[in-house]
Structure 1
Amino acid sequence: MPSTNISTALDTGATTPTLRRPSISSTLTGSSSDSPASPISIPQDGNGTAAPSASLPDAASYPGQKRSLAGIALRAFCLGAALMTGVILAMALALLPWMQTRTMTVGSGERTAATMLLAPLWRLPFFLAALSTFHFLEFWITARYNTQATSVDSFLLTANWPAYAIAHLAAFVECFIRYTLLRHAPHVLSFVPVLPLPSRTTVMLAGLVLVVVGQAVRTAAMVQAGRSFNHMVQHKRAASHALVTDGIYAWLRHPSYFGFFWWALGTQLVLGNVVCLLGYMAVLWRFFSVRIRHEEQLLVRFFGDDYVQYQKRVGTKIPFI
């Protein structure tokens, strides 16, 4: 799962390497900054006044650096392509039964069998679209509201690698097997006679609500925290960091964690996964339990009784944390 942080981010205190900005002379003439610069013709407007020269990009914006413009563009393009692919395929597969009914002709029995196999698989491209939206918003919200902390890593595509990728791959595989090889199998909990099980449609709709609410809460938390939000756990309080206790933080002590926890579980309900739902629940609970405990030790140290009182007043809304 991605490495996230709450509103009161604390600086890591690590020394940031100084990135040297290329000089105009070395960039335009091919010489190093230690060599004498060749004369550069300064563009002028019609009145003979020197026009303002365009500033060169910061060194961190070059390929391979932490704010690589090329890297950002490529990731944004790929996420956009994945989002559109997911949305279009999910809609096409979900509407497949309706479209077949409208065009039913002789020999439709074969097409009906194919439709019954393909239609439930709309869940897979939906999951792809949800993931693409999540990772794009992680970068965009950070870039918009905490520009100084933004880097290529803000997409969170490689956070907690490779466990994060393995978890989502497992979710795809379980859903595919459930609705293809095991599509005629009885409900995994059908042997439990205690309470009537909710219908698959009810479970799916509940999952959709959790996905939307979880994403909205996480995004709102990042927007409200602004420069106090950082994806990395930090250990030194910066001047820009403040204890945010109003707005959504008046209801949730760790809204970004709350959002991701329920968003992730919602995706598994939509997919109809049982094994991954239980796995996500256990892994995420342990991850956030440890992380929140660690962060709150730092927050108490930096904000003292203000945070202690806030801690007593506002819960996480994540069970048993």
Structure 2
Amino acid sequence: MALSMETSPARVSLCGFLLGSTSFWVYLLCNLLTILQELWNSHFWIVIVAGWSFCMLGMTRMLLTDRQAYIEHVQSIYRAWFLGSGCGLGLVISCHCPSISHFGWYFTALSIFHWSEYFTMAVTNPRSLALESYLLDHSKEYAVAAVASWVEFTVEWFLAPGLKQFRYISLLGLSFVISGEVVRKLSMITASTNFNHYVQYRKQRDHQLVTHGIYSLCRHPSYVGWFLWSIGTQIILCNPVCLIGYTIVSWRFFNERIYEEEIALLNFFGEDYLDYQRRVGTGIPFIKGFDGSGHKI
């Protein structure tokens, strides 16, 4: 039975994310109230309590409209809250810590990316939605790569802090991240029910070949977006070692992933997909895909 709008996975996830990110809004409110403290005098704390209570009341009402649905989606709420908290923390760092504001950009982008993967899937293709759609447990390699980038940033920050102060480089990385996020989400929205986080080896009855919109520019825009996003995160952090490592590892991963996926797509759509291959590239440099002959093209 389909969930109502009040208790849909998308809405529950959104509520959890907003609930987690309230740390940023409380931070801004506290700063505003510090400025207005002379006017409010000793009673300024009442506004904080009232605002926080109002926020909690609204979130609780949305989450508990259907208690059974809340119980069913509690794990999603925890993940969304965790990512929302990460987003709020990243925004606070961006505003309050100028010397490492770019790490705040990175942390905000990381949190939004993972939450929006689930939320976009929940809106466009709820049939394929799962907790794994947050991509928080994507793979051990992905986790190791993330930790490695944090370690490099920390070590270089202490040993060579000047290396982390090239703001224009960080802004370039931010543009990569935003562009990658937009391209990936456009691909998910355009493909809609035809999009899945996992390579499909069996064609569904309603599975269609999508060649319009962003797919008219490249065959694998979701991978292009993720590739740009991944590289951009390391440019933001001014991590030269991880930038090289991420580029190589990401390219190899998407090269194999596209090769594997196109075998399935050729089985699904035959000549239609071959014609599509001839007209449109993969979108990632030097990755050609699979032409049906057993060789990478």
Aligned partner (choices 126, 134, 140) of residue 155 of structure 1: 134
Q: Which residue of 2 aligns with 1:92?
A: 96
What pairs with 1:1-321 in structure 2 (closer than 5 Å)? 68-94=72-98, 119=99, 121-160=100-139, 162-183=140-161, 200-321=166-287
- Indicate the structure with greater helix content: 2
1:70 & 1:136 partners in 2: Cα distance? 15
2:129 & 2:220 partners in 1: Cα distance? 21
Runs of 4+ in structure 1 over 6 Å off: none
1:227 & 1:215 partners in 2: Cα distance? 19
Q: TM-score normalised to the size of structure 2?
A: 0.71
1:177 & 1:91 partners in 2: Cα distance? 23
1:74 & 1:257 partners in 2: Cα distance? 27
Higher relative contact order at CA 8 Å, sep ≥6: structure 1 or structure 2?
1
2:92 & 2:102 partners in 1: Cα distance? 12
2:118 & 2:81 partners in 1: Cα distance? 13
Deviations 1:29-68 (A, max 9, x none): xxxxxxxxxxxxxxxxxxxxxxxxx9995xxx797xxxx4
- Matched-pair identity in %: 39
Q: TM-score normalised to the size of structure 1?
A: 0.66
Deviations 1:156-197 (A, max 9, x none): 10011x211111111111112222222257x9xxxxxxxxxx
Contact 2:149 2:242 in 1 (8 A): yes
Contact 1:265 1:277 in 2 (8 A): yes
1:244 & 1:253 partners in 2: Cα distance? 9
Give the letter for the 1:137 counterpart. Answer: S
In structure 2, the CA distance between the partners of 1:170 and 1:55, relative to structure 1 (3 Å rule), is closer
Deviation at 1:233? 1.1
Deviation at 1:202? 3.4
Structure 2: tracts of 5 or more residues without a match: 1-64, 288-297
Q: Provide the aligned C-alpha RMSD in A.
A: 2.1
Contact 1:124 1:176 in 2 (8 A): no
In structure 2, the CA distance between the partners of 1:55 and 1:272, relative to structure 1 (3 Å rule), is closer
Count of residues in Structure 1 that have an aligned counterpart in Structure 2: 223
